[in-house]
Amino acid sequence: MKCKDVVSQIEDFVDDELSTSQHDLLRSHFESCGNCYQSWQQELIFRQVLKQYPLPPARAGLDRRAFSKLPRRPSVHKNAFIAGFGTAMAAAIVLAIAASLFLPQYSQQPVANIVLTLYESKKVNMVFDVPEQVADATVSLHLPEHIEIGGRQGLHQIEWKTALKKGKNMLSLPIVAKMATAGELVAKIKYGKQEKVFRLKLDIQKIEQGLTDSAVINRA
Amino acid sequence: MAKITDFFSNIQNHDAFEALLRPHVDHLYRVAYRLTRQPDAAEDLLQDVMLHFYPKYTELRKVENLKPWLTRSLYNLFIDNIRKDKRNPVSAAVDESVLSVVADHSHHPEREAEQELMQRRLNIALDQLNDDQRDVVMLHDMEGYTLTELAEVMATPVGTLKSRLHRARNNIRKALSVEPSDLIMRVKG
Ligand SMILES: [Zn+2]
């Protein structure tokens, strides 16, 4: 094999791109030709230099920052257990509250009554009518200890950030009562320095009655 | 009617998304760094990849081998968002922290200076490559991606990548134009 042909194939040799027979030809040539052997070694060193081109370690906290452009994760208070949520819901009752979100005179009194059946999950739909788009609203929900969100033990308080679109925004909230004691659902929406509080009175019944509760209160 | 975030599925999906993607943060950052050559730009690109995939969580879950998938998306985002923006010439500003990394791990002033010189030469050599050549040498020779993998990542035939790589290496060899003995000393040192 001519040295010129060998040299032209050294790159492929190092890349392991040659056929076995060609590879063997070059290897045996290196054993007998000092110049080509040197060229081969030079190529190996060159590749090593490239391979060692440093990459500065990522700054601490990359794991967290990698996700920092995502919409913010909702935060859950206390010992709430979330994983595996997905229980079948009983027939949902619908409570629609349409209210202008940022009217300062809005009442702090309960705006509606709803009736829950003991141990039966029901979905409360709350409608928030927003005059303009809100990018970063904080929604928080608070229930008494014996009424749980999503039938999750211990989950009666939750807070998360969300965007609200202009117009009506619906929040579906499945809740379950564990004791036949009336209580209150408090939903707060905060945006900037503004805060709106909605209070729903929850009555609990022991035996199943007709699931016809439906209230629409329009304050807009 | 707009739906306020269904917070249960949102929490679940958010956590599951992070759990699914977290194992890929490091290698995606490496690729992003190789392409952008700037830590800030690399992090920004990485965050864009996450944002890009966030709404596609259910789709992503079904992908058997995420690595090439994610790398390809990162590369596409890089091309679309950074390289096509001519106001952001990647090669214009070489990250000097690359040089300090070498220095940080060495307590021998002579070797330090030598390695720094070597890295500066290599930086300049890389600057002089065209974008296509630099990408392939960065990801193949430095990050160890095979040409077959890169063909998928860059949507370019293996043959084309091979000739880019060949030209890139030739250009770097010329730009380095160092004696073999220098290289031996540096690598073994
Ligand atoms: Zn020879």
The string of pLDDT tens digits covering residues A138-152 is 888 888 888 887 655
For B64, counting Cβ atoms within 10 Å of its Cβ (0-12 exposed, 13-18 middle, 19+ buried), the class is exposed
pLDDT in the model for residue A93: 38
Q: Give the one of A53, A67, A150 whose C-beta lies nearest to B142's C-beta.
A: A53
Q: Domains of chain B (ranges plus CATH)?
A: 2-87 (1.10.1740.10), 109-188 (1.10.10.10)
Residue with tokens 């992003």: B32
Contact A66 B17 (CB under 8 A): no
Cβ distance B1 to A168 less than 8 Å, yes or no, reads yes
What's the pLDDT score for residue A199? 81
Q: Which residues, 6+ apart, have CB-to-CB distance to B79 below 8 Å? A: none
- DSSP-assigned states of every residue in A46-114: HHHHHHT---PPPPTTHHHHTTTTSPPPPEE-TT---TT--PPP-PPPEEEEE-BTT-TT---SEEEEE
- pLDDT exceeds 60 at position A213: no
Q: Say if the ipTM goes beyond 0.85.
A: no
Residues A122, A89 contacting (CB under 8 angstroms):
yes
Mutate to test the interface with B, among A43, A50, A132, A175 (most CBs of B within 10 A): A50
pTM: 0.61
The larger pLDDT score, comparing residue B20 to residue A192, is at B20
Would you call A53 and B119 a contact, using CB atoms and an 8 Å cutoff? yes
Beta strands at A167-177 and A157-164: parallel, antiparallel or unpaired:
unpaired
Detail the DSSP E strand segments found in chain B: 2-3
User: What letter would DSSP give residue A18?
Assistant: S
Question: pLDDT of chain B along its 189 residues, tens only?
Answer: 666 655 555 656 777 889 999 999 999 999 999 999 999 999 999 999 999 998 888 888 888 889 999 999 999 999 998 887 655 544 444 555 555 554 454 466 776 777 777 778 888 899 999 999 999 999 999 999 999 999 999 999 999 999 999 999 999 998 887 544 455 545 554
pLDDT of residue A216: 38
Taking a C-beta distance cutoff of 8 angstroms, is the pair A137, A114 a contact? no
CA A24 – ligand 1 centroid, Å: 14
pLDDT of B167: 96
Distance from the A119 Cα atom to the nearest Cα atom in chain B, whole angstroms? 19
B1 CA to chain A: closest CA distance, Å? 6
Q: How far is the CA of A50 from the centre of ligand 1 (A)?
A: 25
Indicate yes or no: CB of A63 within 8 angstroms of CB of B180: no
Q: pLDDT band for position A77 (50/70/90)?
A: very low
Element (H, E) at B185: helix B180-188
Q: Which residues pair with A159 in a beta bridge?
A: A75, A140
DSSP of B56-103: GHHHHHT-S-HHHHHHHHHHHHIIIIIIT-TTS-GGGS--THHHHHHH
φ and ψ at residue B146, rounded to 5 degrees = -75, 160
DSSP A178: S
In this complex, the residue of A49, A65, A71 whose CB is nearest that of residue B43 is A65
Pairwise pLDDT comparison (B95 vs A95), residue with the higher score: B95
Q: Which of A55, A70, A169 sits opposite B51 (nearest CB)?
A: A70
Cα A21-A22-A26 angle, rounded to 5 deg = 120
Instruction: Catalogue all structural domains in chain A, each as residue range(s) with its CATH number.
Output: 3-51 (no CATH), 75-218 (2.60.40.10)
